[in-house]
Amino acid sequence: MSLALASLDVSVELEANLPCRKFDPDLWFSDSPTELELAKSLCGDCPLRVECLAGAVERAEPWGVWGGEIFERGAVVPRKRPRGRPRKEDVARDAALRVEAEARLAASGLAQGRNAVRLAA
């Protein structure tokens, strides 16, 4: 019985140290591109980042930051654009960020095979 309690205490302690548990949950579902970038950066040191991302891909999360990536309409986007027409330099930067996001997904093993993550254009 003491083993079961010990493992429960470890999971409670781990959960308390997750960035999504320590900070305002609305940060991970913000409309502000700046806040979403902050959420992505907070996910960087999370011990469950890969599992979180894999779960979000499996569930085709409609929006939010999951595992350090931004999801929009079930697809990973390199960054959330503000409203309005994008500037030409933003379009070029988005293309470079899309390549970087694909590389991160490939490194996580999530961009291969039949269940590959769909990247938004």
Q: Tell me if 49 is assigned to a ligand binding site.
A: no
Q: Give the pLDDT confidence score for residue 117 in this predicted structure.
A: 54
Tens of pLDDT, residues 50-105: 999 999 999 999 999 999 999 998 888 887 766 677 677 777 777 887 788 888 87
Question: Would you place residue 10 in the very low, low, confident or very high pLDDT band (cuts 50, 70, 90)?
Answer: very low
Q: Tell me if 46 is assigned to a ligand binding site.
A: yes
Q: Tell me if 61 is assigned to a ligand binding site.
A: no
Domain boundaries, the chain: 16-108
Contacts of 108 (CB under 8 A, 6+ apart): 50, 53, 54, 67
Q: Tell me if 117 is assigned to a ligand binding site.
A: no
3-state secondary structure of 79: coil
Torsion of the alpha carbons at 78, 41, 31 and 112, rounded to the nearest 10 = 30
- Is this prediction's pTM over 0.95? no
